[in-house]
Amino acid sequence: MSTAKVWFVTGASRGFGRIWTEAALKRGDQVVAAARNPAALDELVEIYGTSILVLPLDVTDRDAVFQAVNHAHSHFKRLDVILCNAGYGYMGAIEELEHEQVKANFDTNVFGTLSVIQAALPILRAQGSGHILTVSSIGGIIGFPTGGSYTASKFVIEAMSEALAGEVAAFGIKVTIIEPGQFATGFQSAVQSSSPIAAYEPIRQRVRSSFKPEEVGDPIATTPAILEAVNAEQPPLRLALGSATITKIRATYAARLSNWDKWEAVSNAAQGKQQS
């Protein structure tokens, strides 16, 4: 039986954030649930009482993030799991993307995550323990046409989290990157899109047709995987969610290796002659 943990969850009012918050509470953990719409968590407060602390939070407000994390620590006296889940999709071909909208997308997905991590790290280092979970996506591994802003933000999460893992392991802090594929979380309802350019419509339609309904997973089924990672003595750096996700990742890496192999002689020649 694992010891009860204290979670800090962003984007806790809907989708994976809501599902994983409830799963943690059901097993007896305590959760600080941070969300733009805290009223959406009233039901969980009624059920779980003092085991849940709901805080209003927009992760793009850096000062508010630090205040929320410090409030959470003061309230429950420790923080064990930091789940950086807040994020949304902004879609469009690269030529279509509006500069301010891309900045807003990164402000939430990237800089919001960075603020949460930076606010939590002094607390976790002082404890000598903690587990940071960053929510990436299959889009953090595989870029796709018309998804340039969203996938770029998730590629950043992957790289930032990998760097973080190497920096904090000596302090007893663990890092896991969550990489979900397609799940019925309502994610699409929060997606924003750029103004379309007609020339890209065939590509857009081709991308849409590539998403198969039979590959959409049940988000509730992800909870055992998240809890197993949180309980693990040696959790994975990366945790992909969904069987179709793994299949696509394998194919993508095989194509990348094939590309590098094909151009290996050119790559090696770019080294130049060794200096004597």
Angle among Cα 50, 54, 59 to the nearest 5 degrees reads 150
137, 149, 154, 200: the catalytic one is 154
The two tokens of residue 179 are 């990489």
Is 150 a residue of the active site? yes
Is 137 a residue of the active site? no
Nearest-angstrom CA–CA distance, 246 and 244: 6
5, 90, 115, 136: the catalytic one is 136
Is 115 a residue of the active site? no
150, 153, 161, 200: the catalytic one is 150
**Residues designated as active site:** 136, 150, 154
